[in-house]
Amino acid sequence: MSTLDSGKIESLKNDLAGTVILPSDREYDEARKIWNGMVDKRPAIIARCSDTQDVVRALSFARDTGIRLAVKGAGHHIAGNSLCDDGLVIDLSQMRAVKVDSNAKRTTAQGGATLADLDAATQAHGLATPLGINSTTGIAGLTLGGGFGWLSRKYGMTVDNLESAEVVTAKGDVVRASANENPDLFWALRGGSGNFGVVTAFEFRLHTVGPGLLSGLIVYPFDDARSVLRQYRDFVSQAPAELSVWTVLRKAPPLPFLPAEVHGKEVVVLALLYAGDPEKGEQAIAPLRAFNSPVGEHVGVQPYTDWQKAFDPLLTPGARNYWKSHNFTKIDDGLIDVVMKYVNTLPSPECEVFFGSIGCATKQPATDATAYPHRDAEYVMNVHGRWQTEEEDKRCIQWSREYFEASAPFASSGAYVNFLTEDEVDRVRSAYGQNYDRLAAVKKKYDPDNLFRVNMNIKPA
Ligand SMILES: Cc1cc2nc3c(=O)[nH]c(=O)nc-3n(C[C@H](O)[C@H](O)[C@H](O)COP(=O)(O)OP(=O)(O)OC[C@H]3O[C@@H](n4cnc5c(N)ncnc54)[C@H](O)[C@@H]3O)c2cc1C
């Protein structure tokens, strides 16, 4: 850092109500850790903001000094775009407040809130909005990329429930975006990822949910996988919007309800939630138990907030992760063959393949209603490569890539922007699909110099 820079950094420190963390600070290494343990970036400055004005100051510092800018929600994006080398990171981890207006069925969350923060606040009123399946994920990245989870078949993508946002633009202006205020920006935020500004607050519509919901796991042996997957796809095509069933194929973790001899063996897990009356849910899920003979089951009525955390122990931060994903409109027999082949050769006990089932409400809006374009998707498949040591990198990454290539002929076009890895620059355009050009025009209006470029980047038109 030059002397001039040091002086500027000093004044940034004085200006910020939050904290400025530098490489020489004790907290630095902890502050630059994100969910994916493979990401090892060294920002010059981490500006841990306390409020919207802090965000304005930190952003202005980056813009005026010409230093690279990254924005960190909860740091879960696999590509590690919440950090940058040698630049400034706007870290929103201290901005996690959530307010609920239960009469209006609305909630407002600050830009650094996690899914757990939002679910806890809204479920206190028996309300919820569709979010993802891992409670430590950030609301910000999840929403800006689309967002789907257990409630999406019933209530749509997370973006479909966004009512408004408070945004700090590249100029440093604080603006609101909604159907009536800056509607072009509002459209772009709903799927255009972090390209248009720093969102300091999200306002969502809420729905009556739970608090107790039928949810859990039904586990089949891998020997039955082909038959289970075929029955699964037929079942899902008829299932009510209230019922979400995702398939996870992996080596069984030592879950207490599974017999010891199954631990560490390949299994097919049907993970489910019924977003309605649990008795109706019991009827709806009955066929899932009769696909074959399950090796274990753990299904019951539990608080929605508990189910939202059920996968957290398998998704702890710090492991090495490499993902590949496709969207599918259907599961062909040929795809099942590919699944069988690659799940037979899982390169680590933590690698898995999942099919997240969406559809129903997520398909209702037109492709250009929001920037998120993949309205034809019935399934989002994630090849979740996950392991612990650097020595395993090559083997596990290769497995993920090969599986991805082999399954590509069965995929629909496009990719989910929230699952793209750093090396998938060639897929960025298809992640925004037919909305890319319109997004580029909005980008030109709100961020002509591409200040927000550490992301799945849309170039200004
Ligand atoms: C374990 C795990 C489980 C997941 N499960 C699901 C799931 O069920 N459903 C689903 O849809 N997705 C899921 N995802 C993907 C998730 O939606 C993305 O990783 C998302 O980007 C995470 O948001 P974040 O705020 O934590 O990300 P970050 O890594 O902090 O940010 C991601 C991107 O958004 C930008 N950004 C962050 N905050 C802001 C802000 N306030 N304003 C503007 N830009 C911002 C960043 O600059 C970056 O480009 C999962 C991810 C993980 C790691």
Ligand 1 atom with the smallest distance to the CA of 79 is: 29
Q: Are strands 88-91 and 45-48 parallel, antiparallel or unpaired?
A: parallel
> Can you give the pLDDT at residue 223?
95
More confident residue, 4 or 59: 59
Residue 419 half-sphere exposure toward CB, CA atoms < 13 A: 22
Q: Is any atom of ligand 1 closer than 6 Å to the C-beta of 192?
A: no
Please classify residue 317 by burial: count the beta carbons closer than 10 Å to its beta carbon, then call 0-12 exposed, 13-18 middle and 19+ buried: middle
Residues sharing a CB contact under 8 Å with residue 442, sequence separation 6 or more, in sequence order: 184, 185, 187, 188, 192, 196
The answer on pLDDT for 1 being more than 70 is: no
In residues, how long is the chain?
Answer: 461
Distances from the Cα of 142 to the Cα of 72, 86, 122, 138, 448, angstroms: 12, 26, 17, 6, 24
Q: 6: pLDDT confidence band, cut at 50, 70 and 90?
A: confident
Flag whether the pTM goes above 0.75: yes
Q: Whose CA is nearest to atom 4 of ligand 1?
A: 134
% residues pLDDT > 70 (the chain): 99
Tell me what pLDDT residue 5 has.
Answer: 77
* Ligand 1, pocket-test mutation among 55, 72, 76, 167, most atoms within 8 A of CB: 76
pLDDT of 2 strictly over 50: no
CA dihedral 262, 266, 268, 272 (to 10 degrees): 70
36 within ligand 1 shell (Cβ under 6 A): no
pLDDT digits (tens, 9 = 90+) for 149-183: 999 999 999 999 999 999 999 999 999 999 999 99
Average pLDDT, rounded, for the chain: 96
Contact by Cβ (8 Å): 90, 59: yes
Rounded to 5 degrees, φ, ψ at 437 are -65, -40
Question: Which ranges of 239-303 does DSSP label H, i.e. alpha helix?
Answer: 278-289
Contact 45, 88 (CB under 8 A): yes
| Ligand 1 atom nearest to 112, measured from its CA | 41
Would you list the DSSP string of 320-378?
Answer: EEEEEEEEESS--HHHHHHHHHHHTT-SSTT-EEEEEE--GGGGSS-TTTSS---TT-S
Q: Is the dihedral of CA 37, 38, 40, 46 positive or negative?
A: negative
Helix (H) or strand (E) holding 444: helix 436-446
Contact 146, 191 (CB under 8 A): yes
pLDDT tens profile 395-407: 999 999 999 999 9
Task: Quote the percentage of the chain above a pLDDT of 90.
Answer: 97
Q: Is the pLDDT at 187 greater than 90, yes or no?
A: yes
Q: Tell me what the mean pLDDT of segment 230-259 comes to.
A: 96
Q: Provide the β-strand partners of residue 355.
A: 247, 381
- How confident is the model over 412-456, as pLDDT tens digits? 988 999 999 999 889 999 999 999 999 999 999 999 999 999 999
> How many angstroms separate the CA atoms of 182 and 229, rounded?
45
Residue 195 pLDDT = 98
Q: Render pLDDT for 87-129 as a digit per residue (tens, 0 to 9).
A: 999 999 999 999 999 999 999 999 999 999 999 999 999 999 9
Tell me the mean pLDDT in the region 57-79: 97
Which residues lie below 8 Å from residue 421, measured CB to CB, with a gap of 6+?
78, 79, 322, 323, 324
Place of tokens 């609920």: 100
Query: Tell me: the pLDDT tens digits for 268-325?
Result: 999 999 999 999 999 999 999 999 999 999 999 999 999 999 999 999 999 999 999 9
pLDDT-based confidence at 342, cuts 50/70/90? very high
Taking the centre of ligand 1 as the mean of its atom positions, its distance from the CA of residue 74, in whole angstroms, is 7
Angle, helices 333-343/393-407, rounded to nearest 10 degrees: 170
Distance 154 CA to ligand 1 centre (A): 22
Q: For residues 7-24, give the mean pLDDT.
A: 95
Name the band, by pLDDT with cuts 50, 70 and 90, for residue 332: very high
CA 337 – ligand 1 centroid, Å: 31
**Amino acid at position 178, single letter:** S
Q: Ligand 1 in contact with 76 (CB < 6 A)?
A: yes
CA distance 311 to 329: 25
> What spacing in Å lies between the alpha carbon of 76 and ligand 1's midpoint?
5
Computed from CA positions of residues 256, 261, 265, 266, in that sequence, does the dihedral angle turn out positive or negative?
negative
Cα of 431 from ligand 1 centre, angstroms: 15
DSSP 57: H
